[in-house]
Amino acid sequence: MERLVSNWYNHRALPESYICPPETRPGKLSIPSGDTIPVVNLGEALINRSNTILNVLRASQKFGFFQVVNHGVSEKVLNDTMNVVEEFFKMPMEEKASLYSEDPNKVCRLYTSNINYGTEKYHFWRDILKHHCHPLDDCIKLWPQKPTRYRDVIRTFSVEGKKLGLTILELLTEGLGLESGYFKKDLSEAMLLVANHYPPCPDPSLTLGLPKHCDPNLITILLQGHTFGLQVFKDGQWIGVQPLPNALVVNIGHQLRIVSNNKLKSAEHRAVTNSKVARTTVGLFISSSEDSIIEPAKSLTDAAQPPLYRAFRYKEFLSYYFSMMGDTELALQPFKLPFNQSVIS
C-alpha cells in the first residue's frame, strides 16, 4: 500500500527506481504537430453509414487509434464516471487499503506501476484500479463500495461503453467484409475496466506513466479526460492524442489485429506524466473470454492472403503477452505462422 505513488509523490523527489533508461525516456516532451489521430463523428452513421465505415476502417488500418464524438454515451455518464473515479483515487489510504493487492489473479484490485512491481527493472508513475465487468451481476459485488456512487455510475458506463464498442466492431465487420455480428458473441464476451491515475510528477522527462505497449484485447475504449498524456507511436515518432471534450479514444488490440489477419493495426502507445496536475483515465478493455479460440477470420484468408497466425486460446496468448511486456513483436512471435506456409501445403 505504501508503494502507491499517490501515497508519497508530494513529499519526495523522483526516486531513482522510477528513472527510465535513456532510450525510452520521454525527454523534452515536444509533440510533433503534423500527424494527428483521426476523429470520427459516429452520429454520421445514421445519415451516411458507408462513409462512417470507411472512416473507422481507414483509421484502424493506418493508425490503430482514433477518437469518436457523437458516440451515444452521454456527457453526464462521462462526467459522472470521471468524477467518481477521481474521487476514488482521492480517498484517504485507509479507505482503499482493503483493495490493495500485488496478486495479479485478484479480480478487483488496486495496485501500482505495471505488471509486477517486485520483478520489474524500474517503476512507472501510475496507480491502477482494475476489475472485471463481466458477468456484471457477479463481479459488481466485488467493485469498490466507496465512493457510494461508484457501483451505480460504473455499471452505467460499462454497459454503455460495451454497447459503443459493439457498434464500432459492427462498423469494422462491415468494412472488412465479415459476416454481420462476427464479433458480437464469444469474441467480445468479456470486459475489464482499468482506471489509471498519474499524480503530478516532479520530473516528467525522466519517467513514464505507462511504458510503450499494445493492448492484448480486441478493442479498447478510453475516457481520457481533459489532461494530455497519451501518445501513439506512428512511423517512428510519438504523436499526442489531443484531449477533446466528450470524446472517447478507441484503439485496436492484438486480438483484433490477429482476427483481421493484420488488416487492422494494433498501435503501440504509452502515457507520459506532467508536473502540474493529476491525470486520470478510465479504459474499458473488450476481449473474448480466456478460453476462446483466436485465429484469423476464415473469410479474410485465401491462397493469396494466407493466415498469418495459428489458432490459440486467448489465455495462452495473455500469459505470454504479460511475460514479454513492452515488446510488441516478441509477444506475437509464437503465434505467427511462416508467411507462405499455407501456399506450400
Positions that interact with Ni ion (CB under 5 A): 215
Q: Which is nearer to Ni ion, 189 or 215 (CB)?
A: 215
Q: Which of 64, 191, 269, 306 binds ligand OGA (CB under 6 A)?
A: 269
Q: Which is nearer to ligand OGA, 40 or 223 (CB)?
A: 223
What one-letter code names the amino acid at 24?
A: T
**Residue 31 interacts with ligand OGA (CB under 6 A)?**
no
β 127-132/190-198 pair status: antiparallel
Q: Measuring CA to CA, which residue among 34, 39, 35, 44 is closest to residue 248?
A: 39
Residue 222 CB, shortest distance to ligand OGA, in Å, is 6
Among the residue ranges 45-53, 159-167, 169-177, 222-230, the one whose residues contact ligand OGA (CB under 6 A): 222-230
Rounded distance between C-alpha atoms, residue 237 and residue 217, angstroms? 24
Q: Which of 127, 160, 170, 215 binds ligand OGA (CB under 6 A)?
A: 215
Q: Which does 230 bind (CB under 5 to 8 A by kind): Ni ion, ligand OGA, none?
A: ligand OGA
Q: Which of 161, 283, 296, 306 binds ligand OGA (CB under 6 A)?
A: 283
Q: Which of 59, 82, 210, 258 binds ligand OGA (CB under 6 A)?
A: 210
CA distances from 285 to 100, 188, 300, 311 (A): 21, 10, 24, 21
Q: Which is nearer to Ni ion, 52 or 196 (CB)?
A: 196
Q: Which of 112, 188, 196, 328 binds ligand OGA (CB under 6 A)?
A: 196
What one-letter code names the amino acid at 28?
A: K
Total length of the chain? 345
**Residue 254 interacts with ligand OGA (CB under 6 A)?**
no
Enumerate the H helices of the chain as residue ranges. Answer: 5-8, 49-62, 75-90, 93-96, 136-139, 150-176, 254-259, 314-323, 328-332, 341-344
Q: Which does 174 bind (CB under 5 to 8 A by kind): ligand OGA, Ni ion, none?
A: none
Cell, residue 73: 454515451
**Residue 229 interacts with ligand OGA (CB under 6 A)?**
yes
Q: Which is nearer to ligand OGA, 24 or 301 (CB)?
A: 24
Q: Measuring CA to CA, which residue among 281, 294, 269 is closest to residue 63?
A: 269
Rounded distance between C-alpha atoms, residue 147 and residue 95, angstroms? 9
Q: Can you give the binding site for ligand OGA, defined by CB under 6 A?
A: 194, 196, 210, 215, 222, 224, 229-230, 269, 271, 281, 283
